[in-house]
Amino acid sequence: METTLPRYSKDQVKKASLIKAIFFDVDGVLTDGRINYDDSGREIKSFNVKDGLIISYLKKAGIITGAISGRDSPAVARRCAELKIDFCHQGIIDKASTFEKLMKHYKLKTKEVVFIGDDINDLPVLRMAGFSVCPADTYDYIKEQVDLVTYAKGGSGVLREVGDLVLASKGILEKIVKGEGYTFKVTN
């Protein structure tokens, strides 16, 4: 799609075109990484609605989506349930092992999975994924090890940017934007 793809390299677009699953961390990716508590000790998180909206289009395109988070949070569980993502694994210390199990479960090849992470505990999975991505506001030593650093900061549409890129690389985003219907088939 003319308005989306020129900002990315040919290699990034090629990798995005092979994607059948988008796995992501939550804190620092879907959120800005801050953890707030109200007076009664309940955790409060802010999520970007634009990230949520792209999930439905990814699902219609047959793209698997899911969270692999190091923390346990009722707010994250609720948000993932609202979005009807394919899985929400929380409290995961060994993200690489979970990533491998999910690839086997969904019968995916490494090149078919993008992982979006933002910190040290995400590095093993970022190194394994066929297409590794981090938000603009993460540490330089993370940025140096990924295929794509998004324009968006954590909590500001990182998943949306990656979802748009994946859909555009497959020729689907243009059809959605033009209103050519919501029934389409992924051809890869």
pTM: 0.92
Q: Mapping DSSP to helix (H, G, I), strand (E, B) and coil, where does residue 11 land?
A: helix
* Rounded CA separation 11/167 (Å): 16
Cα–Cα dist 135/149, whole Å: 6
Supply φ then ψ for residue 50, to 5 degrees: -65, -35
Which residue in the block uniquely carries the two structure tokens 């389409």?
184
Coil vs helix vs strand at 156? coil
Q: Tens digit of pLDDT per residue, the chain (188 long)?
A: 455 677 899 999 999 999 999 999 999 999 999 989 999 999 889 999 999 999 999 999 999 999 999 999 999 999 999 999 999 999 999 999 999 999 999 999 999 999 999 999 999 999 999 999 999 999 999 999 999 999 999 999 999 999 999 999 999 998 888 887 655 454 44
Task: Give the pLDDT of residue 181.
Answer: 61
Q: Which three-class secondary structure state does DSSP give residue 144?
A: coil
